[in-house]
């Protein structure tokens, strides 16, 4: 049995898409998985299926997040997965839009990391994996604020890695390319099916990724096997990160 068996993992936005695949994979690896999500129906169904704990929660609601952490602690692994895409040119956005995008894509990463770190520091063990995006290093037409938030997640991750190495806590970011999830399907609904073909052409492998392919990378970084990897930003994007296209 691997040493990560029985470790306590928390996944944000863990009911569907990439987060759903991560919850499923970590549970299959023998971890005690808790995931939170705003989608109660999806969350309850997945929790039954993989025998995980589901907490219906809007992760941008500071009061609800504080209540959650008052009742749940001792996490060994945090996966900051939740995120929402943007589909508008920057000139068509308002400060209100920026704040909403930063709240979900960046501030939740701060809030959840801030809540789990003291417990990890006390036990001198922790794995923090945050889902950023290739958009954070390449930019995104129609997603400037999203891309800025994801780039910030990488800077934050590296800082947390620096501050917490002495506690044997690692912090890494995973940068997906286009992955077949409800998020991408919503983009196709806005821009049409051609959007999917265009996304495929951005990768060397000329296809969308599948959520389980992101979950594999996360499971590795969350495992004891990744003990000498910290402060990294790993593209899981079919080669998009080397400028395919």
Per-residue DSSP letter, 222: T
Complete DSSP assignment for 117-164: HHHHHHHT-EEEEEE--THHHH--TT-HHHHHHHHHHHHHHHHHHHHH
Q: Please list every residue from 44 through 73 that binds ligand NAD, using CB under 6 A.
A: 57-60
CB of 124 to ligand NAD, least distance (A): 28
Where would I find the H helices in 29-93? Answer: 40-50, 62-71
Of the two residues 20 and 126, which places its CB atom closer to ligand NAD in the complex? 20
- Report the C-alpha gap between 231 and 145 in whole angstroms: 23
By CB under 6 A, tell whether 16 contacts ligand NAD.
yes
User: Would you call 146 a catalytic residue per the annotation?
Assistant: yes
Output phi, psi for 160, to 5 deg.
Answer: -65, -40
Of 45, 88, 100, 183, the residue at the interface with ligand NAD (CB under 6 A) is 183
Q: Please list every residue from 131 through 170 that binds ligand NAD, using CB under 6 A.
A: 131, 133
By CB under 6 A, tell whether 18 contacts ligand NAD.
yes
Per-residue DSSP letter, 124: T
CB of 92 to ligand NAD, least distance (A): 20
Q: Which residues bind ligand NAD (CB under 6 A)?
A: 13, 15-19, 37-39, 57-60, 81-84, 104, 131, 133, 176, 178-179, 181-184
């Amino acid at each position: 049995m691997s040493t990560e068996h029985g470790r306590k993992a928390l996944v944000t936005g863990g009911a569907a898409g990439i987060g759903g695949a991560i919850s499923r994979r970590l549970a299959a690896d023998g971890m005690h998985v808790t995931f939170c999500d705003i989608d109660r129906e999806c969350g309850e169904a997945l929790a039954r299926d993989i025998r995980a704990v589901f907490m219906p929660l809007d992760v941008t609601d500071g009061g609800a997040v504080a209540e959650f952490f008052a009742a749940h602690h001792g996490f060994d692994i945090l996966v900051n997965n939740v995120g929402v895409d943007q589909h508008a040119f920057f000139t068509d956005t308002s400060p209100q839009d920026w704040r909403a995008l930063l709240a979900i894509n960046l501030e939740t990463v701060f809030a959840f990391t801030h809540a789990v770190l003291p417990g990890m520091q006390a036990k001198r063990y922790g794995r923090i994996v945050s889902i950023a995006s290739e958009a954070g290093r390449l930019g995104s037409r129609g997603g400037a604020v999203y891309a800025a938030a994801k780039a910030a997640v990488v800077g934050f991750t590296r800082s947390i890695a620096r501050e917490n190495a002495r506690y044997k806590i690692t912090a890494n970011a995973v940068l997906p390319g286009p992955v077949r999830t409800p998020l991408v399907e919503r983009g196709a609904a806005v821009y049409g099916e051609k959007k999917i073909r265009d996304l495929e052409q951005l990768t060397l492998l000329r296809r969308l990724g599948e959520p389980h392919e992101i979950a594999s990378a996360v499971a590795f970084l969350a495992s004891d096997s990744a003990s000498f990897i910290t402060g990294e930003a790993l593209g899981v994007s079919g080669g998009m990160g080397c400028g395919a296209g």
